[in-house]
Amino acid sequence: MKTLDLHIIDIVHNSIRAKANEILIEIKDLKKDNFVDLLIQDNGSGISPEKLVEIQESFYSSRKERKIGMGLALLKYHAEICDGKFEITSELGKGTKVFASFVRNHIDRQPLGDIAGTIATFICQYSDINFIFRYHIDNDMFEISTEDIKSVFEDVDLNNFTIISSIKELIFNSIN
C-alpha cells in the first residue's frame, strides 16, 4: 500500500465485515509535534484475545477466500519504519480500535492519498453505517458524519455521483 488512504480502506472493510454500524476515522496532522496519527474505531463484533495476538504476529486472515491478510501487518510495518507506533485493541461484542502514528517529516512516511474521496465514498456507499470523520490540523478540526449528510439530503439516495463529488469537494476544501 503506497498511501494511508489505502490502509484506511482496508481497515474500514474489516469493520464492515465485523458488522459495525458506526465507524470513526480520525486523522491528526500535528505539524508542531511532527506526528500524523490515524485512528479507526468501530462498534463491530470485536476480536477475541487469541485472534488479536495472532493478527499482530503474522499475516492473519479470517476470510475463507485467501489464507493471508496483509492490511494490519503492513500498517504496523509502515508506522514502525517511520519511528511511529501501532496499536490494536478489541473487545468481543464491543468493537475494535486501530491506531497508527507516524513521524510526520520521516522520509519513509507515506502520503495521505485521496482522503476526501475515500471518506466521501464510504459515507455514500454505506449509508446504513454512520461514518464519523475527524481531521485535525494542529488546533483546527473538521468533522463530518453520515448522519450530518443524511440530514442535509433527506430521502435522497446518497450513492449518487453528484452527491459523492459534492461531499468529496467539501472534505477536500475543509482539510486542505
What integer pLDDT is reported at residue 57 of this predicted model?
Answer: 63
Return d(Cα 86, Cα 107) in angstroms, integer.
18
pLDDT of residue 115: 97
Q: Where exactly are the structural domains of the chain?
A: 4-175
Our CA angle for 27, 31, 36, nearest 5°, is 35
∠ CA 164-166-3, nearest 5°, is: 65
CATH of 4-175, one of 3.30.565.10, 3.90.1150.10, 3.40.50.720, 3.40.50.2300: 3.30.565.10
Q: What is the pTM of this model?
A: 0.91
pLDDT by residue for the chain (176 residues), tens only, comes to: 799 999 999 999 999 999 999 999 999 999 999 999 999 999 999 999 988 887 766 555 554 554 445 678 889 999 999 999 999 999 999 999 999 999 999 999 999 999 999 999 999 999 899 999 999 998 899 999 999 999 988 888 888 889 999 999 999 999 98
What does the pLDDT read at residue 158?
Answer: 87
Q: Which residues contact 38 (CB under 8 A, 6 or more apart)?
A: 4, 7, 8, 26, 27, 98, 99, 100, 101, 102
